[in-house]
């Protein structure tokens, strides 16, 4: 098993999330935030300030938490800080890494003249989000209002929205903030952030900055938790032994790996039908695609990735029985060759089980199933908890993929679909039929492949 890379900085608090210093201005990231990789493509450096008067009761803490969780939900790297007194030296020091910087602060005129702020601090800030509240007892800070790039109304944050309408209340606020700072999130992700904000614990210190603006959460009823699903499928019909097999496939493939056949034309059709069915079931959700490195699996994943406009995470740990590093393409080959899926592969994904860590000798489907079950459980529980996942494997590895989430081990067919849903007790339950093929125009081909 491989370990995730963690970001480190001289600004990390040695006490981490155990820090109880109210005024600590160091970085306090949780494990998820520490392991979000920085994209290879360079983005405009973002420095975001959320501000209000101290004890202004305008939900400025909610706003800060919301921005932090939006970045976390979008899996975009972001360093968050509390800074009592803003000055250019502190900000520049925090901008040395290729990560967004989020700063919570209150003070303005008590520490810096407006002219000095405009000259030395404002040029470093890309976004200033200010929260305000109606009523004479909640006067806005004119200095912050002058430099605000987005103003959030307290009344919208606490507005009751039992129907979870995306055009009003906190969901509209979250959507506006995400757009403002350059994040793209689905409605499902916005609802997940809204739920997280309303269920955060209330520590006695301010160091983590993950605390509600007061214990009543503005008096708003907590929204329901999001319902997450895990899907399991097998690759589509193969070019080497499917009903429309191609005897010349190996020569055409050019890679020389006899066990690594692509999809047949029927397999590509099945992959498209699978993608359409998934989109019907969860069109408003983001799906994380975890695929075996074999060509037939990646071509199946490609159809889904294009439908959901997402990437493919390559996981050798769910590959075919008896797999070795030489039986599949290397990560570099898969990312840089002329495969149509190459541009969709996520280069930042760190496999739970690398190619080199695959068992030297793996006898039988049971061994492959056990391997895949362990890897899938790690991905669902540790890597992507509370996320919607699609695993794309093989006949043997799918035995372990379905058993990882409570279903009995049984072979499933080409591009069939098995769905699991998490209940309130965090247990996975099978939804519908194991290995459903009702979405396929040639279901008998899939059923025949399920031995």
> For 407-432, what is each residue's pLDDT tens digit?
999 999 999 999 999 876 668 999 99
In the chain, % of residues over pLDDT 90: 58
Mode of pairing for the β-strands spanning 47-51 and 127-132? parallel
Compute the distance between CA of residue 409 and CA of residue 369 in angstroms, rounded to an integer: 9
Mean pLDDT of 241-261: 94
The pLDDT, as a whole number, for residue 197 is 85
pLDDT > 80? residue 283: no
pLDDT > 90? residue 303: yes
Q: pLDDT tens-digit profile of 104-152?
A: 987 655 555 667 788 888 899 999 999 999 999 998 888 889 899 999 9
pLDDT > 60? residue 206: no
Which residue, 288, 270, 287, is CA-closest to 279? Answer: 287
User: Residue 207: pLDDT band by 50, 70, 90 thresholds?
Assistant: very low
pTM over 0.85: no
The pLDDT, as a whole number, for residue 233 is 98
Question: For every residue of 204-266, which 3-state class applies, written as one string?
Answer: CCCCCCCCCCCCCHHHCCCCCCCCCEEEEEECCCECCCCCCCCCCHHHHHCCCCCCCCCECHH
The pLDDT, as a whole number, for residue 217 is 58
The pLDDT, as a whole number, for residue 24 is 86
Compute the distance between CA of residue 204 and CA of residue 20 in angstroms, rounded to an integer: 8
* Cα-based torsion angle of the residue sequence 204, 206, 207, 208 in order, rounded to the nearest 10 degrees: 90
Residue 316 phi, psi (nearest 5):
-60, -25
Residue with token string 């983590």:
208
User: Residue 19: pLDDT band by 50, 70, 90 thresholds?
Assistant: confident
The pLDDT, as a whole number, for residue 242 is 85
pLDDT > 50? residue 332: yes
The pLDDT, as a whole number, for residue 358 is 94
Which residue, 325, 392, 345, 393, is CA-closest to 365? Answer: 393
Report yes or no: 269 and 301 within 8 Å, Cβ to Cβ. Answer: no
CA separation, residue 368 to residues 198, 233, 316 (Å)? 42, 16, 11
Domains and CATH numbers, the chain: 16-219 (3.40.50), 229-449 (3.40.50.1240)
- Mean pLDDT over all residues of the chain? 87
- Of the listed ranges 11-15, 47-51, 221-225, the least confidently predicted one is 221-225
């Amino acid at each position: 098993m491989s370990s995730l890379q963690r970001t480190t900085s001289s600004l990390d608090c040695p006490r981490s999330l155990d820090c109880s210093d109210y005024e600590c201005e160091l970085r306090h990231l949780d494990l998820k935030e520490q392991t979000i990789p920085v994209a290879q493509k360079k983005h405009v450096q973002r420095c975001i300030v959320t501000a209000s008067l101290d004890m202004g009761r305008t939900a400025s803490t909610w706003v800060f938490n919301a921005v932090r969780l939006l970045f976390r939900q979008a899996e975009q790297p972001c360093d968050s800080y509390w800074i009592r007194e803003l000055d250019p030296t502190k900000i520049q020091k925090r901008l040395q890494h290729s990560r967004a910087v989020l700063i919570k602060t209150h003070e303005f005129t008590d520490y810096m003249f407006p002219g000095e702020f405009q000259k030395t601090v404002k040029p470093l800030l890309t976004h200033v989000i200010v929260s305000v509240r109606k009523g004479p007892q909640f006067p806005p800070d004119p200095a912050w209002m002058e430099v605000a790039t987005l103003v959030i109304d307290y009344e919208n944050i606490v507005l009751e929205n039992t129907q979870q309408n995306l055009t009003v209340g906190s969901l509209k606020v979250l959507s506006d903030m995400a757009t403002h700072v350059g994040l793209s999130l689905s409605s499902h992700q916005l609802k997940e952030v809204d739920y997280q904000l309303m269920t955060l614990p209330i520590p006695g210190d301010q160091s983590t900055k993950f605390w509600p603006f007061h214990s009543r959460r503005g008096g708003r009823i907590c929204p329901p938790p999001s319902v997450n699903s895990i899907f399991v499928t097998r690759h589509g019909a193969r070019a080497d032994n499917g009903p429309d097999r191609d005897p010349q496939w190996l020569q055409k493939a050019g890679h020389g790996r006899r066990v690594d056949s692509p999809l047949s034309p029927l397999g590509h059709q099945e992959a498209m039908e699978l993608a359409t069915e998934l989109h019907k079931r969860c069109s408003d959700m983001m799906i994380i695609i975890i695929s075996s490195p074999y060509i037939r699996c990646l071509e199946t994943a490609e159809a889904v990735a294009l439908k959901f406009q997402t990437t493919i995470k390559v996981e050798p740990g769910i590959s075919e029985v008896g797999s070795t590093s030489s039986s599949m393409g290397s990560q570099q080959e898969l990312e840089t060759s002329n495969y149509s899926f190459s541009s969709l592969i996520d280069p930042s994904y760190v496999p739970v089980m690398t190619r080199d860590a695959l068992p030297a000798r793996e006898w039988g489907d049971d061994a492959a199933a056990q391997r895949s079950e362990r890897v899938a459980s790690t991905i669902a529980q540790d890597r992507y908890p509370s996320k919607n996942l699609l695993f794309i494997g093989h006949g043997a590895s799918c035995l372990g993929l379905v058993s990882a989430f409570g279903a009995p081990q049984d072979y499933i067919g080409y591009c069939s679909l098995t769905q699991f849903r998490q209940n309130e007790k965090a247990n996975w339950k099978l939804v519908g039929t194991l290995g459903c093929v009702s979405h396929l125009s040639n279901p008998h081909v899939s059923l025949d492949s399920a031995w």
